[in-house]
Structure 1
Amino acid sequence: MVSTAESFLIGGAAACTAVTVSNPFEVAKVRLQLQGELAKGGGEKIYKNVGDVLVKTWRYEGVSGIQRGLVPAYVYQILLNGSRLGFYEPLRRTINRAFGFTPGEQVAATSIAAGASSGVVGAMAGNPFFLIKARMQAYNPVLPVGTQHNYKHSWDALRSVWKAERWRGLIRGMDAAIIRTAMGSSVQLPSYNWTKRTIVENGWGKTDSTWTFLASSAVSGACVCMVMQPADTALTRMYNQPTRRLPNGKMVGVLYSNPIDCLWKTLKTEGPLGWYKGTTAHFLRIAPHTIVTLTANDLYLGWYRMASRTADGGITAGA
């Protein structure tokens, strides 16, 4: 049995592998979500679609633009997916036992609860890094969209936020992050496990086949994208909005007071499609990201177990 700490590390390694592939689409998603923010009818379009974002970003900013925010993305993914993948199974087994099920039994309600809970833990831990990642990815010196935050690097971003707002700045948008992550986490692993089990039980693929990994991950990614897109748009906008200082010294957002306020104002000015800006980029990010994360997690877990058995066998033989 792999320990919680080992699951956390394996999950974090899998997530970092995935984010290297998916980060360019995250940059595109952020910029599309901020384009025409609170402008009637969606406002002027600097970018036509996800492909246009990637082409223009590459043309004017090069590889540093395409991979903008990669370092905080790594840290965030270690904390989020390490928690999501590392704590999911222990939480699911604990919840199962609490409600009278056997620990290994797959129950939809307890699986969703475990997924949401593990995701919330990761979102809270990783919030400062998601915040600076979003701000760094939104920054474009040539074709700016939304509020622009010009940070030299990740440490400069954290230091600037801390200097201006202290802890309140680092936890800004955490309510939106918790909602977004809970929604995504509640369906990611349950849909992955359900799809994988369905494929195996119907004889469409073997448990350890690449086809089974890819198909299960693709379905899981689509489910996550559909469920959390509006919350994701709200999160990006809350992270990136300008702030002002009240007479009592408290720093508050200029545009939105909370995620619900953000969604409502977006709906009023941009219509329901405003919630779904960047959906294509989101899916193009989340599909390969989910596929690589979950596939790598299964592979790394298998390799770790194999290495552990080999090491144990060697120790036993030597004894």
Structure 2
Amino acid sequence: MAAAADDRTSSMSALSRALRSIAAGSAAAATATIFSNPVDVIKTRMQLQGELGHSTGAREYTSAISGMRRIFAEEGIRGIQAGLAPAMAFQLALNGVRLGSFPYLNSAFHQLYGVQHTVADSENGRSAGSHSAAVAARLSAGLTSGIMGGAIGHPLFLVKNRLQSISKAKDGFVAVHKYDYKGPVDGLRRIYLNEGGVRALFRGVDAAVMRVGAGSAAQLASYETFKELFAGFGASGIALHTLASAGASVVITAIMTPFDVVSTRYIQSQKGSGHYSSPLDCFVKTARVEGVRNLWRGAGALYLRLAPHTVLTFSFLEQFRMLLGVA
């Protein structure tokens, strides 16, 4: 009886620690979004401007930095932080699911690929080594957990994207597909009522999960590599995270931007507009009408968001882990 009670206590303690760890990671990513959201706003608008050759306003954004300055000057803090609430909520949902499922998926994929690795190993950050099967298992787990989190949080990502496209400035940015939502709740309500119920809330989820999946796989494949590289030169702590994030973000941006452009445009488009019949159609039309180069539109802004966001997430993660007693 005593042994059974001890086992239950141990299991509850492990569960509590896992939940606190997930909460710390989700809160860290959501907090980092406060600082990275302005770059996300300009990235979204740069990806939407000139869509399929259409003019999207009297003046086009020419760079991320000048674009953010212009938005702040014309629209103030509310403009540069457009979509902040659903962006933070999306990070909570995405990372809650991703962090919560990753240890179990990681263990399952290790076993599938014939490598011994337990859930406890994943939760405690223990690696099964650099064996190719172990690397494949981590990539598979990261890809799957990212897709799951992205799918569940998609309605928040959808309304975030559309809110970021709304300019309150006179003669300001005007997207091809325009919306006038008063806020995230109004946006979600109107999407549900006017565009087809629950299915409308998940419009473009296939494009969005490809974006998240590609980003997650690229991040896992590159971040640890750069971390090992810079650690070999003596970097540690925040300097190591900063250098590894900067290097990994180059790889992530190169791989992720076409998926990001397609996702941004497809979920912005209105059903029945005739613009795109599917994410693949969006990809093909963008490349054909605007040129393949434009699939990397807003890549600079995406990089400026990814690198600082990753560093800030790690910094806040340390604080939240200490606060919740899982440091």
TM surpasses 0.5: yes
Q: Which runs of 5+ in 1 are unaligned?
A: 245-252, 310-319
What TM-score, normalized by structure 1, do the two folds share? 0.85
What residue number does 1:138 align with? 165
Distance in 2, Cα, partners of 1:6 & 1:308: 7
- Partner SS for 1:243: coil
The offset of 1:268, in angstroms, is 0.8
What residue number does 1:280 align with? 300
Moved more, 94-103 or 171-180: 94-103
Check if 1:51 corresponds to 2:65.
yes
The offset of 1:44, in angstroms, is 7.5
1:116-155 matched pairs, under 5 angstroms: 116-141=143-168, 142=170, 143=172, 144-155=174-185
Q: Which runs of 5+ in 2 are unaligned?
A: 1-13, 118-126
The offset of 1:298, in angstroms, is 4.8
What residue number does 2:186 align with? 156
Contact 2:166–2:180 (CA<8 Å) still a contact in 1?
A: yes
What residue number does 1:205 align with? 235
What residue number does 1:242 align with? 270
**AA matched with 2:265:** R
Moved more, 38-47 or 119-128: 38-47
- Partner SS for 1:287: helix
Q: 1:190 to 1:90 in 2, by over 3 A?
A: farther
What residue number does 2:142 align with? 115
What TM-score, normalized by structure 2, do the two folds share? 0.83
Q: Alpha-carbon deviations, 1:194-233, whole Å to 9, x = none?
A: 3323444x25234xx2212222222232222111100100
Contact 2:56–2:175 (CA<8 Å) still a contact in 1?
A: no
- Partner SS for 2:51: coil
The offset of 1:51, in angstroms, is 2.1
Check if 1:33 corresponds to 2:47.
yes
Check if 1:20 corresponds to 2:50.
no
What residue number does 2:283 align with? 263
Check if 1:75 corresponds to 2:89.
yes
Distance in 1, Cα, partners of 2:112 & 2:315: 30
Distance in 2, Cα, partners of 1:26 & 1:102: 40
The offset of 1:92, in angstroms, is 1.7
**AA matched with 2:163:** M
Distance in 1, Cα, partners of 2:233 & 2:302: 32
Pick the aligned partner of 1:180 from 194, 198, 211.
211
Moved more, 48-57 or 272-281: 48-57
What residue number does 2:6 align with? none
**AA matched with 1:136:** L
Cα RMSD, aligned residues only: 2.3
Distance in 2, Cα, partners of 1:58 & 1:85: 34
Name the count of aligned residue pairs: 296
Distance in 2, Cα, partners of 1:31 & 1:172: 19
Q: Alpha-carbon deviations, 1:181-201, whole Å to 9, x = none?
A: 11001121342233323444x
Identity percentage of aligned residues: 33
The offset of 1:299, in angstroms, is 5.1
Distance in 1, Cα, partners of 2:199 & 2:113: 38
